[in-house]
Amino acid sequence: DAGVIQSPRHEVTEMGQEVTLRCKLISGHNSLFWYRQTMMRGLELLIYFNNNVPIDDSGMPEDRFSAKMPNASFSTLKIQPSEPRDSAVYFCASSLEPAVGTEAFFGQGTRLTVV
Binding stretches for another protein (CB under 8 A)? 4, 42-43, 45, 48, 56, 91, 93, 98-109
Least distance between another protein and beta carbon 82 (Å): 22
Please say which residue, 64 or 108, places its beta carbon nearer to another protein: 108
DSSP-derived secondary structure for the chain: ----EEE-SEEEE-TT--EEEEEEPPTT--EEEEEEEETTTEEEEEEEEETTEEEE-TT--STTEEEEEEETTEEEEEESS--GGG-EEEEEEEESSS-TTPPPEE---EEEEE-
Least distance between another protein and beta carbon 92 (Å): 9
Please say which residue, 18 or 97, places its beta carbon nearer to another protein: 97
Least distance between another protein and beta carbon 83 (Å): 24
Please say which residue, 4 or 88, places its beta carbon nearer to another protein: 4
